[in-house]
Amino acid sequence: MGSSQANKDIVVLNTIKQIRKQVKDLKSNNKTIGLVPTMGALHDGHASLIKKAVQECDEVIVSIFVNPTQFGPNEDLDKYPRQLKQDVEICKANGAGLVFTPSSNEIYPEDKHLTYVVPSEYYQSKLCGLTRKGHFNGVATIVLKLFNIVAPDQAFFGLKDAQQLIIIKKMCRDLDVPVKIVECPIVRDNDGLALSSRNAYLTQAERAKAITINKLLFKIQELYNNGLKNKEKILNTALKILDADIELEYLEFLNLDSFKETNLLEKNTLIAIAAKINNIRLIDNIVI
């Protein structure tokens, strides 16, 4: 598996009918299929997902679809970066064999009175779900649609979107979706900033300020390693690192298994942050 895939031509398909035929042919030859769902504007973080999928599966399909149902009315759907030609090259270079790039009309032909997947309010009512109402309904709906269209054996998601990952795993358990969810670590730039398609919006000066987001997280890790476990005491020190121009949306400590908020830092604690700099929203996290 994997090593010879980067040398072959890549197939780009944009209809459900086409991709289902390809999958049927692959499965008739007993090929295992890995899916990497993306919204395009691919970077090294996505590349790491594709590489992992190539290691694990016989054939890798990357979906590129900027999903309108997960954007709120005042969010950046229209200006979300789109660079399909470049994205296909990245997919090919990292060993994917198929790219699925449907139009919005192909995915949502009946966009009125749409049937949504609605994850539990318990998982939605925290972190990003607090300010992005309905966001995870859109995420869960498109992911389940892609699973139904592609029928992959495994699907690969980055831990940067930790809440999304937890919600997708729960959806698969609750709805008996026969797809193995593979979580992949956050990929960071040399300066420590978590890779994100939205980083392209940052000016050099804004980026220098944005770096304090990951510095804050690493400071929390350092304080924990030095024996400090009380959330309030940790935040008193760590929050001083955040640049004054950064608007903090949330900084939460949650148990990764129960998804309960905790005031005591211990193993398996997710420390998740969302912050804005000049209206550019960035998220990051670490797991203790």
CATH number at residue 227: 3.30.1300.10
pLDDT of residue 3: 42
> Per the residue annotation, which of 43, 46, 113, 135 is the catalytic one?
46
38 and 115 co-located in one domain:
yes
180 and 208 co-located in one domain:
no
* pTM, entire model: 0.92
pLDDT of residue 53: 98
pLDDT of residue 124: 94
* Whether residue 43 lies in the annotated active site: no
Distance between CA atoms of 256 and 250, rounded to whole angstroms?
Answer: 17
130 and 228 co-located in one domain:
no
Among candidate residues 184, 208, 234, the one where a domain is terminated: 184
pLDDT of residue 76: 75
pLDDT of residue 8: 66
Among candidate residues 153, 184, 215, the one where a domain is terminated: 184
152 and 201 co-located in one domain:
no
pLDDT of residue 74: 78
Assess if residue 189 is contained within a domain.
no
User: Structural domain tally of the chain?
Assistant: 2
79 and 213 co-located in one domain:
no
Distance between CA atoms of 114 and 70, rounded to whole angstroms?
Answer: 13
Assess if residue 224 is contained within a domain.
yes
Assess if residue 220 is contained within a domain.
yes
**Residue among 8, 105, 15, 90 at smallest CA distance from 51:** 90
Token pair, residue 287, equals 């797991």
143 and 248 co-located in one domain:
no
Positions in the chain short of pLDDT 70: 1-8
Backbone φ and ψ for 20, nearest 5 degrees, come out as -65, -35
pLDDT of residue 169: 96
pLDDT of residue 284: 96
